[in-house]
Amino acid sequence: MPAKKDFGTVQLTFNLLDDTSASNEKVALEASWAAGDYIQIVINLPGTFDDTGDNQTKYNGFISSVGSPEVAVSDDVLTYTVEFTLTEPRLS
């Protein structure tokens, strides 16, 4: 039986110290989620979030969920999780 290919999901947990930045970023992600925007996620390891460098991993897809902010166990970091549904295999 034919079926749509499932390339999986990528789940990222955002850890932000600044409540205002966390709220602004979350609002932007929720708007993209509501619009069903097709996006490309670029992860540049270790630990940077720009789109340069040799250690890039790229994914194409859309946001499938945006979690509610919660205070992390350490009580000083606001965290929330965003899940992306992939529409094609990892690009790099």
pLDDT confidence band for 23 (50 / 70 / 90): low
Is residue 2 predicted with pLDDT exceeding 60?
Answer: no
* pLDDT tens digits along 33-86: 999 999 988 777 666 555 566 667 888 999 999 988 777 666 677 788 999 999
Q: How far apart are CA 58 and CA 56, in angstroms?
A: 6
Dump the DSSP string for 9-31.
EEEEEEEES-HHHHHHHHHHHHH
Q: Which residue has the higher pLDDT, 4 or 62?
A: 62
Q: Which residue has the higher pLDDT, 77 or 31?
A: 31
Secondary structure of residue 42 in the 3-state scheme: strand
Q: What is the pLDDT of residue 7?
A: 87
Q: How far apart are CA 39 and CA 47, in angstroms?
A: 20
Q: What is the pLDDT of residue 63?
A: 93
